Amino acid sequence: MSRHLARALVLLVTAVVAITACTNGSSSSSNQSFSGTTIRVVTFTGPQIAEPLQRRAPDFEKATGAKVQIITVPFSDLYQKLLTDFATKTNSYDATVFDPQWMGDYVPSGYLEDLTNRVQADSALQWNDIAPFFRDFSATFKGKVYTIPLDGDFQMVYYRKDLFTKDGIAPPATWDDYIAAAKHFQGKDLNGDGKADYGSCLAMKRSAQSYWAWISIASAYLQSQGTKQGAFFNTDTMQPLTSSAGAAAALDVYKQLSKIGPPEQLNQDVGDSRGLFVTGRCALSLDWGDIGPLAVDPTQSKVQDKVGAIILPGSKKVFDRSTNQLADCNATLCPYATNGVNHAPFAAFGGWSGAINKAAPAKVKDAAFAFLSYMSQPAQSSQDVTIGKTGFNPYRTSHFTNQGPWLSSGMSASAASDYLGAIQSSLQSPNMVLDLRIPQTAFYQQTALDTALAQFLAGELSQSQTMAQITDQWNKKTDEIGRTAQLDAYRSSLSITK
């Protein structure tokens, strides 16, 4: 009897220890420890990104007692809103889901909380399940973790598999192929509604998220020797690559694409181009991972199971930095080429990530971390990345290996393999192009590059004037901040090991 009692006691103690360990491990989100704490999280105006935060906040509130307030501002305002809020010590935001490229401005100024110890201590977050690239690029700055990735961003090309198969056209391997295919389908009825449709739909509106598409095109011409070569500046002189034969080739492709598409293309943002693609009005599109889940959303898609996804098209000619000219790919110039085509998949933006305001009260910081961790944990994120309207794309190893949630979302097994395969091949490419992450990145891209590209498309600037304007403005800003400091920042951003 006493032996039974002893055994029962041992079992009881083991169970209590196990439960306690589990409770500690699953972060502090399973009790009401944040009762009375309000977390103010700012992000960009939805529906994307804000939607999953708003949808999941009530569950988190119920579990922890915290109150989550999601504040949204337009994408183009988010950078300066955060910076002015931090700099003026207004501190009206406790946490943010933002563009990790801006860490170059926020971290050196000491505005963001160092999360290194927290992510290591939070077993429920499963930090090592997050793909190494996103842990390094989106989360880490100079060896310390400042954000929790909530999204994985690569631009890739989507095409109408049914139409391409029917007409015997192969998915585009190069940008020339892309243009040829787009021209082939332009003006044809692609969704059976009797109206002429479009060969390609891109976002080309100014002050939106359009300039990333041009970088996606330019990457193929500007970077061929691996990630550390960089696609924006010469890594010795910090001279922009925007006045090169590679940039000229990319501008040429961009201009041609502006004429193969909807008449309003120059005034369309990603929301417009996605809408047109999933309603079957376009044969091709260039976008982040969002179109994959949107294409299987029965409430809006007319192209379910008709969409293929591929790595960004490449080029057979690349910019040779030793001769300053475009040259045919060979084993030396394009060591990572496939069938003579240099692919340079562009990790555009890096993926929306959550960070915490260093100046927030300690308890609010704890609650904010718990909320961001909750959003990223596989239980939540594996569902969210399969929903198109979330704007969240896969970024964890489990998102790629576990096809269950994708199949439940309505994607067929072949579509899921196709879609995840395109992202994975981008993610694993040794020639992946990293997005810019230096101080005042927002000026280089969102202002200087974006304006010049819009002027080029509108015919206000010629090709050479466009290149000269971007280069002059980038150089002026670099000199204003300090060429050596910017070069160091650029170099260190490229030294990230994948």
Q: Helix (H) and strand (E) counts for the chain?
A: 21, 15
Task: Assess 80 for contact with other proteins (CB under 8 A).
Answer: yes
**Measured distance CA(426)–CA(152) in Å, rounded:** 11
Residue bearing tokens 């201009």 = 255
For residues 99, 110, 227, 257, the Cα torsion angle rounded to the nearest 10 degrees is 30
Neighbours of 186 (CB within 10 A): 18
Q: Kindly give the pairing relationship between strand 38-44 and strand 67-73.
A: parallel
Q: By the 8 A CB rule, do 344 and 316 touch?
A: no
Tokens matching residue 391? 């704007």
Which range, of 170-178, 293-301, 369-377, 469-477, touches other proteins by CB under 8 A?
469-477
Count of alpha carbons within 13 Å of 418, Cβ hemisphere only?
Answer: 20
The residue from 27, 126, 174, 265 that contacts other proteins (CB under 8 A) is 265
The residue from 97, 457, 467, 487 that contacts other proteins (CB under 8 A) is 457
Which range, of 171-179, 313-321, 403-411, 440-448, touches other proteins by CB under 8 A?
440-448
Which range, of 52-60, 261-269, 302-310, 312-320, touches other proteins by CB under 8 A?
261-269
Q: State which amino acid sits at residue 253.
A: V
The strand pairing partners of 327, in sequence order, are 318
The residue from 183, 184, 206, 363 that contacts other proteins (CB under 8 A) is 206
344 versus 360: smaller Cβ distance to other proteins = 360
63 versus 71: smaller Cβ distance to other proteins = 71
Task: Assess 480 for contact with other proteins (CB under 8 A).
Answer: yes
203 versus 222: smaller Cβ distance to other proteins = 203
Task: Assess 373 for contact with other proteins (CB under 8 A).
Answer: no
Instruction: Count the residues of the shown chain that bind other proteins, applying the rule CB under 8 A.
Output: 41
16 Cβ contact list (under 8 Å, min separation 6): none
Q: Minimum Å distance from CB 450 to other proteins?
A: 9
The strand pairing partners of 315, in sequence order, are 342
Nearest Cα residue to 265 out of 325, 186, 329:
186
The residue from 100, 199, 262, 280 that contacts other proteins (CB under 8 A) is 262
The residue from 42, 201, 208, 309 that contacts other proteins (CB under 8 A) is 208
Residues written for the chain: 498
Q: State which amino acid sits at residue 407.
A: L
Tokens matching residue 406? 């994708």
The residue from 24, 109, 117, 338 that contacts other proteins (CB under 8 A) is 109
Task: Assess 267 for contact with other proteins (CB under 8 A).
Answer: yes
Residues forming contacts to other proteins in the complex (CB under 8 A) are 76-77, 79-80, 83-84, 87-89, 105, 108-110, 205-208, 262-267, 440, 442-443, 446-447, 451, 454-461, 472-473, 476, 480
